[in-house]
Structure 1
Amino acid sequence: MKIFRVLGIPVELDISFLILMVFIYLLTYLGFLSLNLAVLITLVFVVVVIHELAHSYVALRFGVKIRSILLLPIGGVSRMEEIPKVPRQEFLISIAGPLTNIIMAMLTAVPLMLNLPGPFRPFFGDFLAVNLVLALFNLIPAFPMDGGRILRAILAERVSYLRATRIAANLGKTIAAMMAVTGLFYNLFLILIGLFIYIGAEQEYQSTLISSLLEGVTVGDVMTPDPVTLRPDMTVGEALDVMFRKKHMGYPVTDGDELAGIVTFHDISEAARDVMVGDVMTAEVVTAAEDEELTSVLEKMNRHQLGRLPVMGDGKLKGIISRTDIIRTLNLMRKGIE
């Protein structure tokens, strides 16, 4: 749910976040939570939005596109199209959030140190505490927190980006394991945080490994050229015959030399056999270019939740690339470094 835009960036609420806030204020209305606590929880998420906006502002300065800022029950996420691999840029983007929290905490401390009276004094104290806790938590040197990215940026000035990621990820896993063990004796919530950090560290390493292995590999290197195509005036029955014979799950639909759409087995599985392919195909097709890098195509597939993309060149259909093609290439590349 999009709630507003800042710096041209949409700020969105995940439905689970909305449910959480309704639940918190319902408990407050019923008397199970104090109003001060409900307001404090709301304040946490206001600070999270400011934190993510700081990341996004610096990222925009380096030309990074921000799709949105998403608020989840566990915090906020700046959905950047790609985090720069230039160490200095990653360092500045990553440190911007915690640094903003520290600055806000210092500004909030001024009226507290001056001992100014007034009804907002408790608010200043809460705002100070929230900013300090958020800054310190995010500076833990482990993915997916900012501290992990800051550590990687520092290491990447001295070693390769992949090795820097591996070192930071392994440190994050160690911290996660220590948190989990500590949680067994003191607070079970630490186990959940440890699990969150461990998964985040592993995902970051795997993502970096994939982008490193596929660096320089283009769509034209792995695509299937001259793919089998269907026509929009074919019936679903005829299309099914082709699918069972060729044993592929998706096909470009062409009208002469022009790409008209794409159709998958899922699209036609529930349609009557006499329905035309043109009536069930997807006309708005996401495509790839022959010279496009595989990392870009994989990100495009993930973003649109697609399994295959037609490959275009000079305005004509040149081939098709599937997620299976990319996975096969990755497995070959991994064997090459083992």
Structure 2
Amino acid sequence: MNWSYSIGKVRGTELRVHITFFILLIWITVAAWTADGMQAAVTNLLFILAVFACVVLHELGHATMAARFGVKTPDITLLPIGGLARLERIPENPKQEILIAVAGPAVNVVIWLVLTLVLGAVTQQGALQSLEDYTQNFWGRLAAVNLLLVAFNLIPAFPMDGGRVFRAVLALFMDRVKATQVAARTGQVIAFLFGYWGLVGGGPILVLIAVFIFLAAGAESSDATMRSLAHGARARDALITSYLSVAPDDTLQTAVNAILHSSQSEFPVLTPEGRFAGILTRESVMAHPEPEHRQQPVSALMIRDLPSVTPETEMETVLDAFTGKYVPAVAVIDRTDRFMGYINRENIGEWFILSRK
């Protein structure tokens, strides 16, 4: 995710913090300091950090259960609205998806039990209405938040945990794509209700959550439909074979000329022997428009170590290659290591639209 920064790894999963999370911390600290002084600011800051530690443990619960089914979790990103664990894929077995989805809330239940039974935290009636009150018991407030996380995440608003359970249950009785579409529409209806509640008095965070759920549900539905269409398709079906290429030793002026005389967004970088070396993007060249950069070699700006597939590679594998870190294109190379062309996100989208029956 753009604008996020790594803070370490846990069992192969990278922990990342989005810049907006730091903005949230600053806002909460300044607001508390202005209203009640330094003690309130420090206490509320520590409380928010404790809450997000629970969120990280929640996401690691998903990752741990997913690992049991051979699914890796490349990274977890902290956002102001919570955590986001990015699984490399969602198991198609509905029972496995249910177990992965409920593993996160189960961690919060365990945290609540530890806070209650070990630390003696008491979750008082109305505690959720006074979470911002730093004079309330710290552990009691944290216990209340974990109960809130359990209840909130089990709302059947796809792609939240409860929504994934809902989709998995539907998939026991219908096609997975149809189940995803039903769950996504349900999630968007709930998102609309969240947004309305936020606008009439629930607060801006609810509106932000509503927007996230609405957009994420639509994206998940489109992805499920695309992956269904990808069954039986091969990389060659979306292969771009007509293109302008540049060489690693060409100057950026050569790339500028190519940009001006084509509509390409990506330019394959090929060695004199015709081997694939990387991709030069229109965006990277346009980011250095100054004349003094024009004599730099293309190799200085090209993106290396991109995924490569063969023409017979399944389309689902191609889609997986675009998941995660920024990948502008996937190279298609035959068994003799000869470059045959490339596939970019735009062409995947065009293939998806034109392949529908």
TM-score (norm 2): 0.79
Moved more, 290-299 or 313-322: 290-299
Shift of 1:67: 1.3
Moved more, 287-296 or 159-168: 287-296
| Distance in 2 (alpha carbons) for counterparts of 1:110 and 1:276 | 65
Moved more, 36-45 or 279-288: 279-288
Counting only pairs closer than 5 Å after superposition, residues 303-314 of structure 1 correspond to structure 2 as 303-314=324-335
Distance 1:256 1:135, change over 3 A: same
Does 1:15 pair with 2:35? no
Distance 1:286 1:313, change over 3 A: same
Instruction: Find the counterpart in structure 1 of residue 131 from structure 2.
Output: none
Structure 1: stretches of 5+ with no match in the other structure: 116-120
Instruction: Find the counterpart in structure 2 of residue 200 from structure 1.
Output: 216
Q: Specify the code of the residue in structure 2 equivalent to 1:98.
A: P
- Residue 317 of structure 1: which of 324, 339, 351 is its match? 339
Does 1:6 pair with 2:10? yes
| Distance in 1 (alpha carbons) for counterparts of 2:121 and 2:240 | 71
Q: Specify the code of the residue in structure 2 equivalent to 1:329.
A: W
RMSD: 3.1
Aligned partner of residue 355 in structure 2, secondary structure: helix
Shift of 1:140: 0.2
Aligned partner of residue 174 in structure 2, secondary structure: coil
Instruction: Find the counterpart in structure 2 of residue 38 from structure 1.
Output: 45
| Distance in 1 (alpha carbons) for counterparts of 2:26 and 2:272 | 51
Distance 1:331 1:106, change over 3 A: same
- Residue 225 of structure 2: which of 209, 214, 219 is its match? 209
CA contact (8 A) 1:263 1:277 kept: no
CA contact (8 A) 1:223 1:321 kept: yes
Instruction: Find the counterpart in structure 2 of residue 103 from structure 1.
Output: 110
Shift of 1:186: 4.5
| Distance in 1 (alpha carbons) for counterparts of 2:27 and 2:121 | 37
Does 1:177 pair with 2:192? yes
Aligned partner of residue 104 in structure 2, secondary structure: helix
Counting only pairs closer than 5 Å after superposition, residues 249-260 of structure 1 correspond to structure 2 as 249-252=265-268, 253-260=270-277
Distance 1:273 1:167, change over 3 A: closer
Does 1:263 pair with 2:283? no
CA contact (8 A) 1:287 1:310 kept: yes
Does 1:89 pair with 2:96? yes
Instruction: Find the counterpart in structure 1 of residue 71 from structure 2.
Output: 64
Aligned partner of residue 255 in structure 1, secondary structure: coil
| Distance in 2 (alpha carbons) for counterparts of 1:44 and 1:36 | 12
Shift of 1:259: 2.4
Could you list the per-position Cα deviations for residues 5-34 of structure 1 after superposition, in whole angstroms to 9, with x for gaps in the alignment? 322322222222123223433444455462
Could you list the per-position Cα deviations for residues 163-200 of structure 1 after superposition, in whole angstroms to 9, with x for gaps in the alignment? 11111112212222333444454424444443333223
Distance 1:232 1:130, change over 3 A: closer
Shift of 1:275: 3.5
| Distance in 2 (alpha carbons) for counterparts of 1:129 and 1:211 | 40
Instruction: Find the counterpart in structure 1 of residue 56 from structure 2.
Output: 49
Shift of 1:202: 1.7
| Distance in 1 (alpha carbons) for counterparts of 2:79 and 2:276 | 39
CA contact (8 A) 2:321 2:330 kept: no
CA contact (8 A) 1:226 1:318 kept: no
Instruction: Find the counterpart in structure 2 of residue 294 from structure 1.
Output: 315
CA contact (8 A) 1:142 1:175 kept: yes
Structure 2: stretches of 5+ with no match in the other structure: 123-135
Q: Specify the code of the residue in structure 1 equivalent to 2:8.
A: F
| Distance in 1 (alpha carbons) for counterparts of 2:325 and 2:170 | 33
Moved more, 152-161 or 178-187: 178-187
Aligned partner of residue 137 in structure 2, secondary structure: helix
Shift of 1:53: 0.9
Indicate the percent of aligned positions where both proteins have the same amino acid.
33
Distance 1:194 1:258, change over 3 A: closer
| Distance in 1 (alpha carbons) for counterparts of 2:285 and 2:193 | 52
Distance 1:183 1:123, change over 3 A: closer
Aligned partner of residue 230 in structure 1, secondary structure: coil
Could you list the per-position Cα deviations for residues 106-149 of structure 1 after superposition, in whole angstroms to 9, with x for gaps in the alignment? 3433358899xxxxx93442232111000000000012310000
| Distance in 2 (alpha carbons) for counterparts of 1:183 and 1:226 | 50
TM-score (norm 1): 0.83
- Residue 326 of structure 1: which of 333, 348, 351 is its match? 348
Shift of 1:266: 4.7
| Distance in 2 (alpha carbons) for counterparts of 1:76 and 1:235 | 43
| Distance in 1 (alpha carbons) for counterparts of 2:49 and 2:294 | 56
